[in-house]
Amino acid sequence: MRKGVTDDKAVAADILDRAEVIWLALNDSEGPHCVPVNFAREGDTLYVHSGRKGRKAACLDSGAPLAFSAAVDMRLKTSDENACELGYRFRSVMGGGAPRALDGEDKLRALDRITLKYAGRAMPYNEKVLAVTAAYAIDITSVTARIKD
């Protein structure tokens, strides 16, 4: 495995739990695209939400495999002497998974996990917004972490 790369699930979980956003790499008939999303993690599952319409929702509804990435602790490495010494220090995760749409109580539990991550507490939902909101579980099938200090 490449220097600084690990498949240790605990390291990857720590990075995912600290990340504010993950980037989903999706693919459809128009080609590949990447989209940042809020999310929550529980075990080997990521939870995301979306409007029910649009390209992201269509890709997630398809259940097609996707990739994701996140990074934390990003710091610029500077140099006054050599451009080749410039760079970033970071901790990152890259992985793959398969999305599945959630409904009923599963949808609410997923949204509750996301709300708890960002608001720090449970909150009520606007029923009109909830009706046009989709929630998805992404079952992680592979994950690696990279630490570059």
CB 37 within 8 A of CB 62: no
The correct CATH number of 5-148 out of 2.30.110.10, 3.90.420.10, 1.10.3720.10, 3.30.413.10 is 2.30.110.10
Longest dimension (CA), the chain: 59
| Ramachandran quadrant class, 114 (left: phi over 0; alpha: psi -120 to 50; beta: rest) | alpha
Along the 149 residues of the chain, how does pLDDT read in single tens digits? 788 999 999 999 999 999 999 999 999 999 999 999 999 999 999 999 999 999 999 999 999 999 999 999 999 998 888 899 889 899 999 999 999 999 999 999 999 999 999 999 999 999 999 999 999 999 999 999 999 98
Query: What residue segments make up the domains of the chain, in order of their start?
Result: 5-148
Provide the whole-model pTM.
0.93
Find all residues with CB under 8 Å of 3, minimum gap 6, and list them.
none
